[in-house]
């Protein structure tokens, strides 16, 4: 079945630094990728949708300059949290969709900003 690999699975960074999270579709081409954020005991919140080769579409209230999304190839999308602060600490999850296939999720990245 379709597999999405997300790295790193966890990261701790200092306040003010930037963190990059990678999402790769291993056995299919992902025409669309989605990035979510999830706080403890809450549901997943869609942050943005990205299509290969074009700019990401951000959901209302999500700062595009803070959460940089790059979808340069059909198998890789990256989310960079710039100038991270403690309130950005969360569980970030990517999802990929290929032509004719369903949605496959990565295993998530737990970001802790100290």
Partner 1 sequence: DAKTTQPNSMESNEEEPVHLPCNHSTISGTDYIHWYRQLPSQGPEYVIHGLTSNVNNRMASLAIAEDRKSSTLILHRATLRDAAVYYCILITQKLVFGQGTRLTINP
User: Binding of partner 1 at residue 8 (CB under 8 A)?
Assistant: no
49-78 positions binding partner 1, by CB under 8 A: 49
Rounded to the nearest 5 degrees, what angle is found at the Cα of 8, between the Cα atoms of 23 and 108?
A: 65
Please give the C-alpha separations between residue 78 and each of 3, 26, 41, 97, in angstroms, as whole numbers: 16, 15, 25, 15
Please state the closest distance from residue 84 (CB atom) to partner 1, in A: 20
Binding segment for partner 1 (CB under 8 A), chosen from 12-20, 60-68, 69-77, 93-101, is: 93-101
Coil, strand or helix at 104: strand
Token pair recorded at residue 1: 């079945």
Q: Which residue has the tokens 């959901």?
A: 59
Distance CA(26)–CA(47), nearest Å, equals 23
Residues that bind partner 1 (rule: CB under 8 A) add up to a total of 21
Please pick, from the candidates 19, 56, 93, 113, the single residue that binds partner 1 as defined by CB under 8 A.
Answer: 93
User: Binding of partner 1 at residue 89 (CB under 8 A)?
Assistant: no
**How far is Cα of residue 4 from the mean position of the Cα atoms in its chain?**
12
Complex with partner 1: residue 75 or 92, whichever CB lies closer: 92
- Residues lying near partner 1 in the complex (CB under 8 A): 4, 6, 34, 36, 43-46, 49, 91, 93-95, 102-108, 110
């Amino acid at each position: 079945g379709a597999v999405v690999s997300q790295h790193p699975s966890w990261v701790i960074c200092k306040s003010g630094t930037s963190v990059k999270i990678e999402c790769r579709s291993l056995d299919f081409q992902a025409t669309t990728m989605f990035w979510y954020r999830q706080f403890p005991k809450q549901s997943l919140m869609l942050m943005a949708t990205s299509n290969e080769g074009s700019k990401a579409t951000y959901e209302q209230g999500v700062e595009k300059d803070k959460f940089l999304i790059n979808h340069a190839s059909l198998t890789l999308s990256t989310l960079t949290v710039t100038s991270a602060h403690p309130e950005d600490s969360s569980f970030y999850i990517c999802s990929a969709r290929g032509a004719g296939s369903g949605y496959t999720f990565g295993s998530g990245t737990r970001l802790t900003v100290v």
